[in-house]
Amino acid sequence: MTADSVTASAAAPGAEYAETASAAYRAALQVIESVEPRIAAATRQELADQRASLKLIASENYASPAVLLTMGSWFSDKYAEGTIGHRFYAACQNVDTVESLAAEHARELFGAPYAYAQPHSGIDANLVAFWAILATRIEGPGLAALNAKHVNDLSEQDWEGLRNKLGNQRLLGMSLDTGGHLTHGFRPNISGKMFHQRSYGTDPESGLIDYDAVAAAAREFKPLILVAGYSAYPRRVNFAKMREIADEVGATLLVDMAHFAGLVAGKVFTGDEDPVPHAHVTTTTTHKSLRGPRGGLVLAQPEYADAVDKGCPMVLGGPLSHVMAAKAVALAEARQPAFQTYAQRVADNAKSLAEGFLKRGARLVTGGTDNHIVLLDVTSFGLTGRQAESALLDAGVVTNRNSIPNDPNGAWYTSGIRFGTPALTTRGFGAAEFDRVAELVVDVLNNTTPNPTGPAGFSKAKYTLADGTADRIHAASAEMLDANPLYPGLSL
């Protein structure tokens, strides 16, 4: 068992902790089983499936038993609209404690002057950030009126001014196919409908962000908001340069660090690569590389704090108090020295995975990685991302297909597979195991062929995996998985 295993908490590591967690889960499942046994069975099966598979989805991880158990509490029963000390419901003093602790841990962990722990997800965190920036930046009739009047007191003239001003605001974010996220201005997403939107991409040759090109786009477009951050870009970002660009054109810099927040918390990203000192507003999820519950956070500089604090009722409904409690536990775990060791191993293991692919002739977007993401171009195997994802799943390797720059197969079939190292690093995998993972992945892809659709071509979805491949990969994976068990000592 590794020191940073999900079975080891800062408070109670070791066999006693595992046995206590086992007893808690067994009791909980017995209670669930008495009401709906199929849910209890599905819960047990999910743990079995996760234990038996190589989880390489970059946005997934394994939360500790302490985090998971925190969510199953009486806080789930509370309504608590509003914010700390100013709720629209009575008897929220314990929710105030929970939210205060989550915000405190977030501020201390990231060195942020202000933290807001209510967002239910990363998308919600970004929506809160967008509206807070609009409320802070727009002058005259508009969102600022919401701070001065009750919404029911706004006149039609107020609303007309609001609509006109919102319709003229501009957002510049990273394009989806070069690594950005849906909420960074993708047209079908609400962010692409709220704003007059434009995207920046990456250098066509290197696949890296061209900061001069971003600056030129910002000067020409003059956005109100410049969005930095990514969901599928396998490199670090210089946030000091992004802030310089934002300042030059008078934009607010919003950094979405949902994917790499664990590397920031773990001090792998420091200086110009740490977004929090440079961004006006920073958003994140609390799962992924942070290894917490599914949820979001907003960190902000003081001038945006009041507007962010109005996320409920402006954007959010009732806070999920039980999840905020779990956020506080996860953030407390991330403040322990073992988390920094874990975060560094996540980055080191990504390099090992990338090197394993490269030495076996695979093609990587940007030629490698220096974060937790490896983006594999599967066109050299004659496959689409959808075929590769499905064939790997048949062999017990859990990934997700992903677009690559200028993807010829579009956003559905794609030409890439995105890999992430946080989850298997949590299980205890190291450099040798990740090199072996690369070998197994290449083995699967070399033994997968697209099905013909007739004389004209081949399917983008259907495929054939050579006989014996899945069994061979499952057997090889089992050796590593058994040596690095998930929640060792936890028995149901």
Instruction: Show the tokens assigned to 166.
Output: 């919102």
Question: Could you give the CA distance from residue 472 to residue 405 in angstroms, rounded to a whole number?
Answer: 33
What is the CB-side half-sphere exposure of residue 137 using CA atoms within 13 A? 20
> Active-site residue among 4, 99, 177, 256?
256
Query: Is 81 designated active site?
Result: yes
Query: Is 256 designated active site?
Result: yes
> Active-site residue among 70, 178, 202, 285?
285
Query: Is 99 designated active site?
Result: no
Instruction: Show the tokens assigned to 214.
Output: 């971003």
Helices (H), 36-112: 37-51, 65-71, 93-110
Instruction: Show the tokens assigned to 274.
Output: 């740490």
Find how far residue 408's CA is from the centre of its chain. Answer: 26
> In the chain, what is the greatest distance between 2 CA atoms, to the nearest angstrom?
70
Contact present, 440 and 395 (Cβ < 8 Å):
yes
Provide the 10 A C-beta neighbour count for residue 303: 14
Query: Is 96 designated active site?
Result: no
Q: Tell me the Ramachandran region of residue 141: left when phi exceeds 0, alpha when psi lies from -120 to 50, beta otherwise.
A: beta
Do you find a cis peptide bond into 275, omega within 30 degrees of 0? no
> Active-site residue among 81, 203, 244, 348?
81
Contact present, 415 and 408 (Cβ < 8 Å):
yes
Question: Could you give the CA distance from residue 285 to residue 338 in angstroms, rounded to a whole number?
Answer: 20
> Active-site residue among 294, 335, 351, 360?
294
Q: Hey, which bits of 54-98 come out as E strands?
A: 54-55, 82-83, 86-87
Burial 388-408 (b: 16+ CB within 10 A, else e): bbbbbeebbbbbbbbbbbebe
> Active-site residue among 60, 79, 348, 394?
79
Provide the 10 A C-beta neighbour count for residue 52: 14
Q: What are phi and psi of 114, to 5 degrees?
A: -145, 140
Query: Is 294 designated active site?
Result: yes
Query: Is 83 designated active site?
Result: no
Q: What are phi and psi of 54, to 5 degrees?
A: -90, 100
Question: Could you give the CA distance from residue 311 to residue 322 in angstroms, rounded to a whole number?
Answer: 18
> Active-site residue among 78, 170, 288, 418?
288
Active site residues: 79, 81, 256, 285, 288, 294
